[in-house]
Amino acid sequence: MKKILLLTDFSKNATNAIAYAMQFFESKKCTFYVMYVHKVGGYVSDDLLMSPKNSIHDSITEKPKKKLNALIEKLKQDYKEQDYEFEFIIDYDVFIDAINQAVNKLSIDFVVMGSNGASNVKEMIFGSNTINVIEKVKCKTLVVPSNYEFIPTKEFLVSLNKDCVLNSYLRDTIIDFIEDFNLKLHVLRVTSEKETYTIALDDKERLSLLESKYYLVQDVPVDYAVSSYLQTNTIDITAFIGQDKSLLKRLFSASPSKVLKSRMKLPLLVLHNH
C-alpha cells in the first residue's frame, strides 16, 4: 500500500493537484492523508470567541475540519471504484516542520502539492511554500502546475546537471518509479567538456539494465537543454533532483527565465540522491 500526503490550503491549485493524484495513482492501493497546516497566528480572537465553550484547539480547527471532511467525502464518492482510503491531518506547526513530522511518522511515500505561485508577483513560478518543500522535505514530491489536467503518464524525463551523481540510491528510486508506473525513461545529462567521457561511462553502467533513452549535452545550462528536449520529445512528467542548488536559486528569483517556465508546465517529481 502506498501512503500519499496531499497538501491543501483549499485553493484551486491544491484541489487540482489532489484531482491529479487521484488519477495518477489509479489502480494502486493507497492511503491518502489530506493535510491542512494552519498558519501560526493565522487566526483571530473572533474565531475563539465564537465558541467560548470549546478549547482553543477545537476553535482553531473547527472550520478546516469541516472543509476536510467535506473534501474527503467527495473524494470517496468520486473515486469509490478505487482501492483508496482517506484520512485527514490538521496541524498548526511551522509548515515544513509539520510536513516532515507527518512524512516520518506515517512513512509517507509521496507528497503531492500544487505550485502555489505568488499572485502578487506574476512571474513567480512557485511560491515560497512549494520551494521550501522541494528544498527541505526529503521525500518524493509531486508538484502539479496550476490548471494542469491529467493525461496518461508514459514518458518520464530525468535531467542531471554536471554536479549530480547518479548514485545507487537515486538510480534505485528511479527504477522503482518507472517500473511501478510502467514509464519509459529519458535521461538528459549536462556535463562540462573535460568530464564528459567519465560521467557518461558511469551513467551508462548504472543504467545498463534499463531500457532508456540517454542523451549527453555539453556546456549548456540544464534549463535550456531540458526546454529543447521538451520541444522535440513527448514528455509527460519531469524530474528534478532536490540537491540542484542552481535551479533552487532560480526558483527563488522573482523573474525566472522563460526557459525555466516552459519546463514547469509539466508535473514535476522531486527526487533526492540520499
Instruction: Answer yes or no: is pLDDT of 43 > 60.
Output: no
Task: Identify whether residues 88 and 12 lie together within a single domain.
Answer: yes
Q: How many CA atoms lie within 13 A of 106 on its CB side?
A: 26
Q: Would residue 149 count as lying in a domain?
A: no
**230 alpha carbon, distance to own chain's centre:** 19
Task: Identify whether residues 71 and 104 lie together within a single domain.
Answer: yes
Ranges 55-59, 91-95, 220-224: which has the least confidence: 55-59
Task: Identify whether residues 136 and 174 lie together within a single domain.
Answer: no
Task: Identify whether residues 135 and 23 lie together within a single domain.
Answer: yes
Task: Identify whether residues 14 and 62 lie together within a single domain.
Answer: yes
Mean model confidence pLDDT for the chain:
83
What pLDDT score does 45 carry? Answer: 47
pLDDT higher at 156 or 191: 156
Task: Identify whether residues 140 and 12 lie together within a single domain.
Answer: yes
Enter the C-alpha cell of residue 273: 540522491
Q: Would residue 89 count as lying in a domain?
A: yes
Instruction: Answer yes or no: is pLDDT of 80 > 60.
Output: yes
Task: Identify whether residues 48 and 160 lie together within a single domain.
Answer: no
Over residues 161-177, the pLDDT tens digits come to 887 888 889 999 999 99
Q: Rounded to an integer, what distance in angstroms lies between the CA atom of residue 187 and that of residue 213?
A: 6
Domain that holds residue 35: 2-144
Q: Are strands 268-271 and 141-144 parallel, antiparallel or unpaired?
A: antiparallel
What pLDDT score does 192 carry? Answer: 76
Task: Identify whether residues 189 and 102 lie together within a single domain.
Answer: no
Task: Identify whether residues 105 and 162 lie together within a single domain.
Answer: no
Q: Would residue 273 count as lying in a domain?
A: no
Q: Which of 144, 168, 186 is the last residue of a domain?
A: 144
What pLDDT score does 250 carry? Answer: 61
Sheet holding 2-7, edge to edge: 84-91, 30-37, 2-7, 110-114, 141-144, 268-271, 237-241, 155-160, 184-191, 212-218
What pLDDT score does 260 carry? Answer: 59
When mean pLDDT is compared over 92-96, 103-107, 262-266, the highest value belongs to: 103-107
Q: Would residue 56 count as lying in a domain?
A: yes
Q: Would residue 182 count as lying in a domain?
A: yes
- Give the total number of structural domains in the chain: 2
pLDDT higher at 137 or 126: 137
Q: At what angle do helices 245-252 and 222-232 cross, to 10 degrees?
A: 90
Instruction: Answer yes or no: is pLDDT of 269 > 80.
Output: yes
Average pLDDT over residues 212-233: 88
Ranges 52-66, 128-142, 195-209: which has the least confidence: 52-66
The structure's pTM equals 0.86
Q: What is the CATH number of the domain that holds 199?
A: 3.40.50.620
* DSSP-based three-state secondary structure for 149: coil
Q: How many CA atoms lie within 13 A of 272 on its CB side?
A: 13
Average pLDDT over residues 236-259: 67
Q: Which of 82, 113, 144 is the last residue of a domain?
A: 144
% the chain with pLDDT above 70 = 78
What pLDDT score does 146 carry? Answer: 86
Q: Would residue 253 count as lying in a domain?
A: yes
Q: Would residue 65 count as lying in a domain?
A: yes
What pLDDT score does 48 carry? Answer: 46
Task: Identify whether residues 136 and 261 lie together within a single domain.
Answer: no
Task: Identify whether residues 85 and 215 lie together within a single domain.
Answer: no
Instruction: Answer yes or no: is pLDDT of 110 > 90.
Output: yes
Task: Identify whether residues 209 and 129 lie together within a single domain.
Answer: no
